[in-house]
Structure 1
Amino acid sequence: MSPRYILMARLSSVLIVDDLETSRSIMHEILMAEGYELLFAAGGAEALRMARDCAPDLILLDLMMPDIDGFTVCRTLRADVQMGQIPVIIVTALDDRESRLKGFQAGCDDFVSKPFDRLELRMRVRTIVRLNRYRLLVNEQQRFETLFTRSPNGLVMLDRDGNITLVNPEMVRLVAAPNAESLIGQQLPDLLNPGDRERCHEWIARLMTAEAPLSHLSASLISHDGLHRPVELDGSWFAWADAPAAQIVVRDISDRIKAHLLEEDRRQLAFDLHDEVAQTATAVYRQLEQFQYNFPLRRPAAKASLVRAIDLSRRLIRETRHLLAGLRPTALDDLGLVPALRLHATNLANEGLKIDLQENLGKQRLPSPVELTLFRIAQEALTNVRKHAGTMSAKIELTYQDARVRLAVEDQGRGLPEASTPTMIGHHLGLRNMQDRAALLGGQVQITSQPGKGTRVMVELPINEQMNGRADEQMNPEP
């Protein structure tokens, strides 16, 4: 249920603050039949604590209390961001003009002097509570509208029959509709690829079951201009005007699909390089060596040309192996993240960069998308160390704990200039690419650096049992 309806459902609460038990009892007797939730505090300090913890709809505040007087309590409330909007009625035996002015200066909303008319007090409490509830409702509505209109994902509200009752601007953009009104009253499945519509109808029917859990569906959205857009739908049940309804988050996963297709292209290219270019280069190298052994050349120029050809073929094999490791390390598929990182560290060590790898995964395998993302980020970070850090050593820390995996790549090199901005960092170090990869899996990347003290790149990704399945759904939605 949305916060707006929770607010409407709960009782209005009134906090009665007075150091005299008899006064609190009288207030209880006057207001108990009004249907309020009555809370009581015997002093100023207790009143401030309860106001912070309970957020009452109204405070009836006595002035003359032994620990903190009512004026101070009122000023403290008004100075607090969390409690500053709570209405306050001062109820006191003081009835002089100076006390009234001082109360209003402290921030009270009304001032009632004892003895008071019981009916009048009830009416004043009822009016202020009602006005405060209206203010809260307006604030909640404004917050809801702000979140709704500014959401980066499409948002759709459905009634119990599956008809669209509300859409946000992003959803209008996703389907290239002329305006939001043109979507109201339509069935959400009608906006999807025909092959997805029956599944979507069944999915919405399940959502309308009372208290149905959050549910997911991958489908293809058809825009008004005929373009197909892969999307992920997250839906949940809630009550709208005392009737079942559903709220749907429509997330464009085109970038995920593109990333997956790019990775598949890299995989295929790696296989082709291995089966064709690498094999041919190796064969040429062996043939040249065999020719050098079987047919010794006497002319210095010819001998030198043959040596150069052998050296070039050897370099071609080495560069091809580098390309294969960069495109798709077979160790990552066959053995897992840790062995792939160790192999990559060994290859970098041959180029003079010493890598200290510390990890607690051992032989444990992570979901394939997580392993690939972490490997690519580590690869990018280590390339930055080799090219920009001005150091010949780096450290990798890989830890798994509490369903989260963390990867840190750190060096003690020259670091970044003090004037570097996040935009500059992203441009020079490929941080944006790292952040995009992590964001696809719900993770984040942080980079810290100081001139002369090195740079640390840290990525954290969540792990869940459904990640492999969800990733496959997102990458390969049904036609």
Structure 2
Amino acid sequence: MPTPSKILVVDDEPRAVLLLRNLLTPEGYQILTAHSGAEALAVALRELPDVVLLDVMMPDMDGLEVCTKLRCDARLAQVPILLLTALDDRDSLLKGIAAGADDFISKPYDHTELRARLRTITRLNRFRQLYEDSARLEAAVTHAPYGVVITELDGRILQQNAAYTRLLAANRPDTQNFYAHLPPDTAQSLRGEIERKPDGGAPFETPLACALNPATVVEISGTLVPWKGRRMVHFMIRDLTEKKQLEQQLLHSQRIELLGQLAGSAIHDVNNLLTVIGSSAQLLEMKQGADLQRHLGTIMNATQRGVSMLRQLLMFARGEDGALESVNPAGVTAEVAHMVAETFGKFYTVTYATAEYLPSVLVDPTQIHQIVMNLCVNARDAMPQGGLLTINVDRRTVAAGVRAVMGDLPVPGDYVAISVRDSGTGIPPAVLPKLFDPFFTTKPKGQGTGLGLATVIRLVRRHKGFVTLETEMGRGTCFACYFPVDPSGAV
């Protein structure tokens, strides 16, 4: 239901004001009243009426002066003003026009004529307001920085702005069908979304990334709009090219920043491998026969892992990731277990257990080796006087609500878990929030880089996995790394 028009009646005669109120209220108008020029200005500025009925002959401030002052305010400059006057000579009418009046009604006025004049002038005023609103909206759409197009359901374009033409229609200026301006797969997806909407259904929005050429990326969203029994579609097209370029620049900056951390991480990990090589070389001096061959194999494996880690560092600097393979994780973890058992010394007991049947996981084997090796070195350092280090590999089904470190939210499903448990001192609660921060370490200066666990969490996340932690002061700590089962792999 439309809002009733506001009519401001201004007359210094109370009886005249009452007469007009009684005459016009049944017509559906909202009647505002004022009994002086000053009061009329105050009410008009506060209420912003649609029409002003203004008596000319008033004391202190006559109707012509009130009319002039109303026209000086931008909010009231277009409001229709009807002067009620007993003066009908030419000079009086010219003065009224000069003051800004739109029409005159002579006293005594005919009631039927007054009602007819008001109906006409309020209708024209509504049209003027609608035209101004439409012009403002059209200007906003025309100069909007994003593309706007309104179409029929079949894609025929009813209206479009310049940004739309620049972003989409420039590649096919010969057609007036929206879908012809899109790549076929995007057009099909949008058509399907619209066709699934029932008549009278709620508006939908479907953002779709659409690369028109290698240099331009846009996002398209559509809204179903019912209008006069028809169903039209209002599409908006946002140019994401600059945003994507900024994102790429940000990723590049972050990659350069992480490269420094990875360089330290590589030093940390290669140092672990060199420790293995050095220990095995020392043992070679005392071993012969089969033992000699076993230690040579350990040296070769450690050397290959070191080369692979440096290759990963180079690939990361180039913006590349290592190849993922569907493998049984038992082989990689067994190799690490053998390596640490040979090199950690006689004060450490290393046990290794794996489930009889393990599914495959899609991983980079060198990075899994890196993860487990880091956890084992951490476990050794947590037991300076020696102790029990247990490596376990098994299949686990993860339900919703499992708590992972760093606030990660695991996806429910089947995983292979690689856990490393020590019998050390446990992790103090004050240390836990910073445990996975790069360069954070509790070791004395010069004895650790603080990158071991930061590397672990980064690599596990790269494999779409997560890490859990159990620790108890005086009882030890267990880190478990979960990797999703490869659905295409063998069991």
Q: TM-score, normalised by structure 1?
A: 0.48
Larger Rg over CA atoms: 2
Give 1 or 2: higher helix fraction: 1
TM-score normalised to structure 2 length: 0.46
